[in-house]
């Protein structure tokens, strides 16, 4: 039996051979997941922004308590070697050029109250983000542009499954020159710290190990999801993270066949990334329109008429098997 067949609280919108999109309340769905069945929770909850959004963001005062309910249930379903990666953007306090501390209060609640470990903090730099907030950046010019989200990598144990060598990044030009001729560009020497790195510089490992600053533009105006949404004359989910973000963590923290779950799936970037990487996946989203429209990610090889028909079928209550 597939995992989604064990869930009775939500409605199956569509499924593939690897995963399923479920429409329903994530609190109910998380509670139904089998204990220790998930290798990675990868998600981005609605942020507590001051201006209400169509996707239902929480206010700042109640945000931490609201989010902790989901994260507690996720811990129960997480394998001992599993991870929770959660992308949380920052915000300002109402009417003031002073930052909210919601993402840090949430982290402390996860660690102190729910017994998660902070494996590592990451920062996603959105290189294409427009200047905001308008009042403090554009008008008064008393604050810098806010373009970095905190991404907490949390785990259930001290040693979650991870392999950073899977997510190497391209070498710099200078490093490429050094690898071509190590003796010309670098002479091994013992540093003041007595750390000898001479031999390491002569080895080509296929790329450099990444840092915890991830620079991905979120300007996917021409990706297949947005192209399909535009051709359908519909409005897609307004708060998507780039596919590179879930791809990075799925590759680093899971193996093919592992289970990846997103309990705020939105446009289902996580599900699509997991599908392309041969991981099993489940995506939970309470908005039926967003659920139906996310199916276009899995219909890129079909005609626009076929995509339109299948979106309408899902919206009417049918559960489709895709691919």
Q: Is 45 a catalytic residue?
A: yes
Quick check: helix, strand or coil at residue 43?
Answer: strand
Report the distance separating Cα 273 and Cα 213, nearest Å: 20
Structure tokens at 91: 């915000």
Q: Is 246 a catalytic residue?
A: no
Report the distance separating Cα 157 and Cα 83, nearest Å: 9
Exactly one of 39, 48, 83, 87 is catalytic; which is it? 87
Q: Identify any residues that bridge with 19 across adjacent strands, giving them in sequence order.
A: 281
Helix-, strand-, coil-residue percentages of the chain, each rounded to 5: 35, 20, 45
Report the distance separating Cα 274 and Cα 26, nearest Å: 19
Helix count and strand count (H, E) for the chain = 10, 10
Exactly one of 45, 46, 48, 246 is catalytic; which is it? 45
Asked whether the CA dihedral 91, 49, 58, 79 is positive or negative, the reply is negative
Quick check: helix, strand or coil at residue 18?
Answer: coil
E strand residue ranges, 57-158: 78-88, 117-125, 148-155
CA distances from 189 to 195, 198, 199, 200, 201 (A): 9, 7, 10, 12, 12
CA angle 150, 152, 158 (to 5 degrees): 155
Exactly one of 44, 83, 265, 269 is catalytic; which is it? 44
Q: Is 163 a catalytic residue?
A: no
Active site residues: 44-45, 87
């Amino acid at each position: 039996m597939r995992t989604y067949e064990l869930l009775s609280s939500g409605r199956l919108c569509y499924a593939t051979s690897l995963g399923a999109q479920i429409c329903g309340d994530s609190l109910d769905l998380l509670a139904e997941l089998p204990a220790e069945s998930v290798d990675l929770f990868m998600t981005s909850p609605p942020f507590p922004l001051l201006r209400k959004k169509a996707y239902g963001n929480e206010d700042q005062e109640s945000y931490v308590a609201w989010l902790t309910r989901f994260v507690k249930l996720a811990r129960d379903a997480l394998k001992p070697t599993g991870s929770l990666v959660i992308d949380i953007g920052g915000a300002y306090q109402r009417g003031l050029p002073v930052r909210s501390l919601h993402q840090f209060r949430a982290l402390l609640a996860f660690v102190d109250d729910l017994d998660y470990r902070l494996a590592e903090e990451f920062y996603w730099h959105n290189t294409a983000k427009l200047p905001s907030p308008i009042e403090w950046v554009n008008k008064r010019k008393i604050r810098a542009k806010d373009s970095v989200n905190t991404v907490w990598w949390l785990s259930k144990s001290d040693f979650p499954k991870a392999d950073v060598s899977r997510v190497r990044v391209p070498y710099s030009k200078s490093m490429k020159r050094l690898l071509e001729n190590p003796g010309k560009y670098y002479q091994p020497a013992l540093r003041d710290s007595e750390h000898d790195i001479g031999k390491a510089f002569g080895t080509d490992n296929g790329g450099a190990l990444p840092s915890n600053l991830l620079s991905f533009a979120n300007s996917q105006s021409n990706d297949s999801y947005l192209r399909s949404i535009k051709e359908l004359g519909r409005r897609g989910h307004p708060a998507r993270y780039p596919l590179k973000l879930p791809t990075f963590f799925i590759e680093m923290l899971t193996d093919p066949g592992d289970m990846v779950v997103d309990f705020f799936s939105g446009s289902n970037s996580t599900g699509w990334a997991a599908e392309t990487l041969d991981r099993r996946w489940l995506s939970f989203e309470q908005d039926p329109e967003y659920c139906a429209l996310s199916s276009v990610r899995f219909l890129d090889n079909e005609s626009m008429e076929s995509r339109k028909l299948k979106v309408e079928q899902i919206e009417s209550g049918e559960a489709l098997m895709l691919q």
